[in-house]
Amino acid sequence: MGLLAGADLQVMTDRIYQRLYSAFLAHIGDMLAANTEEGLAQYLDEATGDTTLQAALLGAAGGIDDMGLQAGQQTVARVLTNWTAVNAFISAVSNYVRSTDGGSYASLAAYLSGNSVLLHPMVAEVVRVALGEGALALSGATVAAMPPLQQCVPFNRVYTGALGALVDDTTDAASATAADVALFAVNGDKLILQSRSKFNRVLVGLSTLASSNPTLTAKYWNGSAWATLSLTDPTVGLTVQGGMISWTMPADWEPSNDDDAGSPARLNTAEEGEYYTVIITRTNGTLVTPPVATWLLTVPEAVVNGSGALYGLPQPPLAIVRITDTNTCVVTAIQNPSTRFLLPSATGNALTLRALTAIAADLTFTLGYKDQAGAASTQAQSAWSGAKAAGATQNVSLGADTGLSEITAATCAITTAATSGAFAIEVSAFARAIGAK
């Protein structure tokens, strides 16, 4: 019989994934780059004062502009996962493995499980489009679908300095290899953060602490004006390695590519993007030593399907842990894994701790979580030894447990002499290597 080897199917589906994801990333980037100088909605708004015309077209124009943003990424991905040729291939595989020649499996899920096949999460979405939402379930439990990555991510654009002379620090802010993002050198200087996704956290690793609080204020675009954000700032104006500045997510946030000067100026006339933008401003005139950042990351908005469940694209991290004093930490649970996929496990070093700031001492972290069955559990991790630079990682162990279904902040604990610093709990690798196309 011509049985289909599981390893062969994995190679073929990995190649499908590479085609899909390459097209997805290029598509999103091209959409943003093509919005040179301004998007359709902003152009229509500025080019005509005809309220009847605007009422008829602004909503639809804005929908096109927003396709490149996080809210539109699931739609773009669904277009790709509806690719007729790919769906035909998945259907052909399903038909074959259920045939006599293919092994007479009861379903594709039974074949995948019986042959220990793991599918990339985006390929899992293709299978569900081709065969139905339950195509990767046996006895109500998901099989074969690897969990999506869950990580902190760089901003899409970072600008620093004075309006009219802004420095594009996007590349430097995304890298932890050098202390090269100078912030708030003079009163009135800006830190402008842009993302395709809505965000309400700035994760900042500092190489130089501010000598005093520069008194930071923040604004976002609500569609008609720059509105104030109320900051929660454990960094105390970047004078402490507090790791995270946050705010309540505004319900009326609209994408923009303007600055907050009374007469709007494009932040980037070569690539509009209409990103979600936050402008942070120094308002204190006295600052002997301005802060310098190693890197700046954020927590992206979750990408969900029509039922509100996580989609097979990169997602927010599991949690952020801030060290607030000796042997003391605050754990902020961000995004639990989805049962549409296999639960993340320690297999292949998929679960990691990643330093968001420098951490000056050894630490031992105890992870509080719920296991694959939903039972409460804790697991003390191996000592994370030595001073850690931003970006340093340590693998997470779950002991005998085979999956993590939820972070339980209340049962997490830390032992360390460090009094400040932050790290993320992430799903940072797939359960196996993904081959090239």
pLDDT tens digits, residue range 390-401?
A: 999 999 999 999
Q: What is the pLDDT of residue 54?
A: 74
Q: What is the pLDDT of residue 437?
A: 47
pLDDT digits (tens, 9 = 90+) for 65-80: 766 676 677 777 777 7
Q: Alpha-carbon distance 168 to 111, whole Å?
A: 51
Using the predicted structure, report yes or no on whether residue 339 has a pLDDT greater than 70.
yes
Using the predicted structure, report yes or no on whether residue 286 has a pLDDT greater than 60.
yes
Percent of the chain surpassing pLDDT 90: 66
Using the predicted structure, report yes or no on whether residue 315 has a pLDDT greater than 70.
yes
Low-confidence winner among 62-71, 104-113, 181-190, 398-407 (lowest mean pLDDT)? 62-71
Strand partners, 182: 292
pLDDT bucket at 19, cuts 50 / 70 / 90: confident
CATH architecture of 153-298: Sandwich (2.60)
Using the predicted structure, report yes or no on whether residue 115 has a pLDDT greater than 70.
yes
pLDDT digits (tens, 9 = 90+) for 348-374: 889 999 999 999 999 999 999 999 999
Q: What is the pLDDT of residue 42?
A: 72
Structure tokens at 224: 């008609």
Q: Is residue 397 within 8 Å of residue 350, measured between CB atoms? A: no
Sequence ranges of the chain with CATH classification 2.60.120? 153-298
pLDDT digits (tens, 9 = 90+) for 222-262: 988 999 999 999 999 999 999 999 999 999 998 888 899 87
Average pLDDT, the chain: 90
pLDDT bucket at 31, cuts 50 / 70 / 90: low
Using the predicted structure, report yes or no on whether residue 1 has a pLDDT greater than 60.
no
Q: What is the pLDDT of residue 172?
A: 96
| Average of per-residue pLDDT across 401-407 | 96
pTM of the shown model? 0.91
Q: What is the pLDDT of residue 266?
A: 81
What HEC string does the chain produce? CCCCCHHHHHHHHHHHHHHHHHHHHHHHHHHHHHCCCCCHHHHHHHHCCCHHHHHHHHHHHHHHHHHHCHHHHHHHHHHHHCCHHHHHHHHHHHHHHCCCCCCCCCCHHHHHHHCCCCECHHHHHHHHHHHCHHHHEECCEECCECCCCECCEECCEEEEECCCCCEECHHHHCCCCCCCEECCCCCCCEEEEEECCCCCEEEEEEEECCCCCCCEEEEEECCCCEEEECCECCCCCCCCCCCEEECCCCCCCCCCCECCCCCCCECCCCCCCCCEEEEEEECCCCCCCCCEEEEEEECCCCCECCCCCECCCCECCCEEEEEEECCEEEEEECCCCCCCCCCCCCHHHCEEEEECCCECCCEEEEEEEEECCCCEEEEECCCECCCECCCCEEECCCCCCCCEEEECHHHCEEEECCCCEEEEEEECCCCCCCCCC
pLDDT digits (tens, 9 = 90+) for 410-420: 999 999 999 99
Using the predicted structure, report yes or no on whether residue 344 has a pLDDT greater than 60.
yes
